[in-house]
Amino acid sequence: MSSSSDVTVLVFGPYNGDGIAELERRFTVRHLKTRDIAELPEAERGGIRAVAVAGRIPNAAIDALPNLEIIGHFGVGYDGVDAGHAASRGVAVTNTPDVLTEEVADTTLGLLLMTVRELGLAEAYARAGRWEAEGPYPLTRFSLRGKTAGIMGLGRIGLAIAERLEAFGLEVAYHNRSRRSDVAYAYHDTLEGLAKAVDILIVAAPGGPSTDKAVNEGVLTALGAEGIFINIGRGSTVDEPALIDALKNGTIARAGLDVFADEPRIPADLMALPNATLLPHVASASRDTRRAMGDLVADNLSAWFAGEPLPTPVPESEAAGLSRAKAS
């Protein structure tokens, strides 16, 4: 097995600063600031044994690195990495579960409160001096009191959201592909069924083909005219034009969104809607949590090059027997 300083890690594209510093403490780091593998000279490619990436890496980049062994993804949702393709080339993939769960759940409750109780709009009203000039901020149409919430994706983050919702006094239901045996929340085997049953629909599911545009016109119609939609999962899970239409024509009442289909671009139509609360993908974005994510990426790479079991391999890598490096 190699000592870490022998190993060159390619940081592929924009990446957290503390995360790069941690990698630099353990490895030789080459930072390619764009996501364009063509900018890495051919002569350097053979020396790359690991990649650290936040977000997307195309298969062409994986294929261009002949001695690549492992990709450490900064983020729990690794829909930007084709882990099946990586496995077919013998390349392991890791992600960063657990260390961000509570932060993301906290932010989800913040986004929900902003959306329902208009806290962002009320703050802008106070800062503009309108309280003194015009009187109190108008009473909000919605409240969390007496509401039911449905979670699409009752996994690590979904469960942490559910616990917070319970503490807020809301009744919780959920939809996953499979029913959980360890919770008493009502299970719905279809997303439309869940949307019909609740006042608030929260997406905390992964992106990728199995959830692509799952929140469509039918689901939004089922949520209904008093319905609130929250998405902290992935923008790809929503049919965004259908969501914009639903917000415009009153099919649903409100949306609170941390994620979008084509980040960092937010459609102008969505920006213009007063009944949408928009955050720039910040659910895990505290310095401490992002540092913990960067440390976990580095821990995975260190484990691999020490021949130890990976702390957090993705399921596709585990299934392919890539949860530790083969002894050389």
| CB-based contact 49:27 (threshold 8 Å) | no
User: Which of 26-34, 121-129, 147-155, 194-202 is the region at the interface with ligand NAP (rule: CB under 6 A)?
Assistant: 147-155
Determine which one of 26, 30, 281, 291 is catalytic: 281
CA angle at residue 271 from 121 to 148, to 5 degrees? 60
Tokens 């990586």 belong to residue: 86
Residue type, 81: V
Of the residues 206, 235, 294, 313, which one makes contact with ligand NAP according to CB under 6 A: 206
Does 310 sit near ligand NAP (CB under 6 A)?
Answer: no
Cα–Cα distance measured from residue 312 to residue 76, given in angstroms and rounded to the nearest whole number: 10
**Does residue 25 carry a catalytic annotation?**
no
**Does residue 254 carry a catalytic annotation?**
no
Q: What does 205 interact with, of ligand NAP, ligand 8YV, none (CB < 5 to 8 A by kind)?
A: ligand NAP
Tokens 């049953």 belong to residue: 197
Q: Which is nearer to ligand NAP, 234 or 254 (CB)?
A: 234
Cα–Cα distance measured from residue 69 to residue 54, given in angstroms and rounded to the nearest whole number: 17
* Token pair in block for residue 321: 């027997």
Of the residues 32, 70, 157, 325, which one makes contact with ligand NAP according to CB under 6 A: 157
Q: What does 109 interact with, of ligand NAP, ligand 8YV, none (CB < 5 to 8 A by kind)?
A: none
Does 235 sit near ligand NAP (CB under 6 A)?
Answer: no
265-324 residues in contact with ligand 8YV (CB under 6 A) are: 281, 284
78-107 residues in contact with ligand NAP (CB under 6 A) are: 97, 100, 104
Of the residues 55, 150, 153, 313, which one makes contact with ligand 8YV according to CB under 6 A: 55
Does 277 sit near ligand NAP (CB under 6 A)?
Answer: no
Q: What is the CA radius of gyration of the chain?
A: 22
Return contacts of 1-4, CB within 8 angstroms, 24+ apart: 1/305, 1/306, 1/307, 1/325, 1/327, 1/328, 2/49, 2/305, 3/305, 4/301, 4/302, 4/305, 4/306
Q: What does 74 interact with, of ligand NAP, ligand 8YV, none (CB < 5 to 8 A by kind)?
A: ligand 8YV
Cα–Cα distance measured from residue 275 to residue 246, given in angstroms and rounded to the nearest whole number: 11
58-97 residues in contact with ligand 8YV (CB under 6 A) are: 74-77
Does 54 sit near ligand 8YV (CB under 6 A)?
Answer: yes
| CB-based contact 229:252 (threshold 8 Å) | yes
- How far is CA 15 from each of CA 18, 234, 258, 276, 280, rounded to the nearest angstrom? 9, 19, 19, 29, 16
Q: At 256, which helix (H) or strand (E)?
A: strand 254-257
**Does residue 188 carry a catalytic annotation?**
no
Q: Which is nearer to ligand 8YV, 45 or 156 (CB)?
A: 156
Of the residues 149, 204, 215, 242, which one makes contact with ligand NAP according to CB under 6 A: 204
Does 232 sit near ligand NAP (CB under 6 A)?
Answer: yes
> Applying CB under 6 A, which residues contact ligand NAP?
76-77, 97, 100, 104, 152-158, 175-178, 204-207, 210-211, 232-234, 258-259, 281, 283-284
Question: Hey, which residues are catalytic here?
Answer: 234, 263, 281
